[in-house]
Amino acid sequence: MKKYNLLLLFMSLSVIALAQSNYNLLIGTYTNTGKSEGIYTYNFNTINGNTKLKQITKGVANPSYLALSPDKKFAYSVNETGNTSTVSAFKFNAITGALTFLNKVDSEGADPCYITVDNDNVIVANYSGGSLAVFKRKTNGALNSAALVIKHTGKSIDPKGRQESAHVHMVKFTPDKKFLIVNDLGEDLTYIYAYSPKSKDKILTIKNVLKTKAGTGPRHITFSPNGKFAYLAHEFNGSITGFYYNNGTLNKIQEIGTTPKDFAGKIDGADIHVSADGKFLYETNRGDANSISVFSILSTGILRFVETVSTLGKGPRNFSIDPSGKFLLVAHQYTNDVVIFKRNTITGKLTDSGKRIEVGAPVCLVFTK
């Protein structure tokens, strides 16, 4: 009898361990390339890095960036289609990986390129439109039309013409959820808005505006898990600015590059994330670099260079560290694949696992149970 009970216990623990090692991986794409059919849901195994296709949500135009609601019951995507751009809401089934369309609304600006969500609102960054828009969520997960639209109107000095007008590139909540960070690549400005999620007419109000180095193009920002530090990636030169964060204020502590000083090609800085243990920071560059740089994070928030390696593809638009921390996945927009790297949790260094996900024009990776 004791042996039988032990066997049942072992089997139960094995089932639990298996369940805990399997996650959903949602992939946002560009469908206008003709190589993608929409939003892809894969099973990702955190033990071995194996993947298996679960669902394809078809009929969604250019769902380039995705976000999940805090309770993981709903998913939201931008539909990046120029002046006809929209934002779509879906019900998400974590077991099957299926996304059921609820509704879509006008994005209130051309080419939304980033989206974030909390319990009350969905907020998008409209790149070409130079605006951000806030949408109230209904109880069933669907979206109301925009409750607030903020249009930026400035410009900066980029000689290639990408800063002749505002280009809102990212909207991200601070760790304390009291503020919204908005990076404007076209203006070389980072806005910090005080956030009142349930307000009707003052959801966002300006607290600070941070002027970045002219011509660098602030793109994506990430925070350390303890909420003390923030790191801003600049698109035009691939540099990273480190900040000390406190109650809606960013104070600069460091500026560091991600390419060799003699690098003469196009850089196109892309994405930036801190590992869940707060020990390492990663940043990708596209253009002629197609690289990912690794930095260790000191207790003071200062970055120390570890290595730069090829992402093994072209156009590493977005990347994500899996929930176990053992793998780092890079989405290549132009070589139509996701490269899976093994990640050394002690050194932070990356090595090719040899595993790939073949998918058309992937640009966003989201893990969830």
Spatial strand order in the sheet of 22-29: 51-58, 38-45, 22-29, 362-368
Secondary structure (3-state) at 59: coil
CA distance 278 to 298: 9
pLDDT for position 160:
75
DSSP designation for 84:
G
Domain ranges of the chain: 24-51+266-369
Q: What pLDDT, on the 0 to 100 scale, is given for residue 246? A: 96
pTM above 0.85, yes or no: yes
Q: Which two tokens stand for residue 249?
A: 């204020």
Per-10-residue mean pLDDT for the chain, 369 residues long?
Answer: 50 50 98 97 98 98 98 98 98 98 98 98 98 98 98 90 95 98 98 96 96 96 98 97 97 97 94 98 98 98 98 98 98 98 98 98 98
Question: What is the side-by-side order of every strand in the sheet holding 229-234?
Answer: 218-223, 229-234, 240-246, 249-256
Give CA–CA dist 83/181, Å, rounded.
24
**CATH code of the domain occupying 24-51+266-369:** 2.130.10.10
* Rounded CA separation 160/167 (Å): 14
Q: What is the DSSP letter of 138?
A: P
Closest to 270 (Cα-Cα) out of 228, 240, 230, 227:
240
Helix (H) or strand (E) holding 263: none
Residues in CB range of 39: below 8 A, 6 or more apart: 26, 27, 28, 29, 56, 57, 60, 63, 66, 75, 77, 99
Per-residue model confidence (pLDDT) at position 200: 87
Question: Phi/psi class of residue 66: alpha, beta or left (left: φ > 0; alpha: ψ in -120 to 50)?
Answer: beta
Q: What's the full length of the chain, in residues?
A: 369
Would you state the pLDDT for residue 20? 84
Q: What pLDDT does residue 15 have?
A: 43
The confidence score (pLDDT) of residue 4 equals 53
Instruction: Give the number of other Cβ atoms within 10 Å of residue 222's Cβ.
Output: 19
